[in-house]
């Protein structure tokens, strides 16, 4: 399994750094985030090291999403949050701080202070259509 000796999450997988482990299988590990945005904030990572969504393998991302769904169900049953975000960040501009692909399982409360920093503003349909065409050309 590919590992990066300088990666903090690889060290957690190897047991070199402690964590509150929730679940582990051959491909993934789920553990509590030490900087929780809300109670019950969990991280799910593939054991195979890759930096982000552009680098992660299809098998690793699939396994990570399936474990995140399992953890989300357990968090929902345990804490009964009002809502729950599955979140995944790529690059510093998207607030990625650890460069080992991971998903956040983040319970939400009505009225909590967490913000998704975009509003529901009507888009310019011409611009949306033009950008869709450009992305389609790269699929």
Q: Give the catalytic positions in this structure.
A: 102
Site membership for ligand DGP, residue 34 (CB under 6 A): yes
Residue choice 31, 40, 45, 67 for contact with ligand DGP (CB under 6 A)? 31
- Residue 111, CB half-sphere, CA atoms under 13 Å: how many? 0
Report how far residue 30's alpha carbon sits from residue 20's, in angstroms, rounded to the nearest whole number: 9
Residue with tokens 């450009």: 134
Structure-token pair, residue 42:
């969990």
Tell me how far, at minimum, the Cβ of 19 lies from ligand DGP, in Å.
5
Counts for the chain of helices (H) and strands (E), in that order: 3, 5
Applying CB under 6 A, the span of 49-57, 73-81, 93-101, 113-121 interacting with ligand DGP comes to: 93-101
Residue choice 2, 17, 55, 131 for contact with ligand DGP (CB under 6 A)? 17
Q: How many residues bind ligand DGP (CB under 6 A)?
A: 14
Torsion of CA 33, 100, 76, 84, to 10 degrees: 100
Q: For ligand DGP, which is the closer residue by CB, 37 or 66?
A: 37
Tell me how far, at minimum, the Cβ of 125 lies from ligand DGP, in Å.
32
Report how far residue 42's alpha carbon sits from residue 68's, in angstroms, rounded to the nearest whole number: 9
- Residue 135, CB half-sphere, CA atoms under 13 Å: how many? 6
CA-nearest of 93, 107, 91 to 36 is 107
Residue choice 35, 117, 121, 138 for contact with ligand DGP (CB under 6 A)? 35
Considering only residues 96 to 125 of the shown chain, the ones binding ligand DGP according to CB under 6 A are: 96-98
Residue choice 3, 23, 33, 76 for contact with ligand DGP (CB under 6 A)? 33
Which residues form the interface with ligand DGP (CB under 6 A)?
8, 17, 19, 31-35, 43, 89, 95-98
């Amino acid at each position: 399994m590919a590992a990066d000796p300088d990666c903090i999450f690889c060290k957690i997988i190897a047991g070199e750094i402690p964590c509150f482990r929730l679940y582990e299988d051959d491909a993934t590990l789920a553990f509590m985030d030490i900087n929780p945005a809300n109670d019950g904030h969990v991280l799910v990572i593939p054991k195979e090291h890759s930096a982000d969504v552009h680098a992660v393998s299809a098998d690793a991302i699939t396994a990570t999403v399936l474990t995140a769904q399992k953890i989300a169900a357990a968090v929902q049953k345990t804490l009964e949050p009002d809502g729950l975000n599955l979140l995944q960040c790529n690059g510093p501009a998207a607030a990625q701080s650890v460069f080992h692909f991971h998903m956040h399982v983040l319970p939400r409360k009505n009225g909590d202070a967490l913000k998704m920093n975009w509003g529901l503003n009507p888009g310019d349909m011409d611009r949306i259509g033009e950008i869709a065409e450009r992305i389609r050309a790269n699929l």
